[in-house]
Amino acid sequence: EEFENKYIAAINTLRGEKAEKLENDTDLRNKALAQLAKINQDGTIAPTDASTITGTLSDDKKFVTAVTINVLTDNKGEVVDGVCQAKEITPDSLGEITAEGAGKDVVEAAQAVKRIGIATKVINGKTYAAIAMEFVKSVPDNA
């Protein structure tokens, strides 16, 4: 829970004081939890389960809603022997969650988030996390 709250606080800081404050969305948190359930007992996860994205086009075809779900992994999701290693959340990794030094692209990405859901799960005594984010983007007229 501490990880979930701290991560959302960092996203809200990146979004700026004038942006709508995000909370841990129940629906997206449940999707993140479902992704965490795919982690094996040894902390590994199939690359196709470590990161997913789905998109839905609006009825008027003017907007696309995309939901990304990412299990936090070690080594930037590097695949070794066909699997990724999920990142263990420790007291030290809690200190890594900060908005300080974020580049412009990270700030813009945080500002584009419409809803966020963060979940943690303990597997074999180790805590892992997944983050689900929803973005809504307009579709270019020439698409």
Spatial neighbors of 50 by CB under 8 A, at least 6 apart, are: 70, 71, 73, 77, 84, 86
Q: Is 140 helix (H, G, I), strand (E, B) or coil?
A: coil
For the whole model, what pTM was predicted? Answer: 0.86
Going residue by residue through the chain, which has 143 residues, state the pLDDT in tens, using 9 for 90 and above: 888 989 899 899 988 888 899 999 999 999 999 999 999 999 999 999 999 999 999 898 888 899 999 999 987 778 989 999 999 998 887 777 777 777 788 888 888 899 999 999 999 999 999 999 999 888 877 65
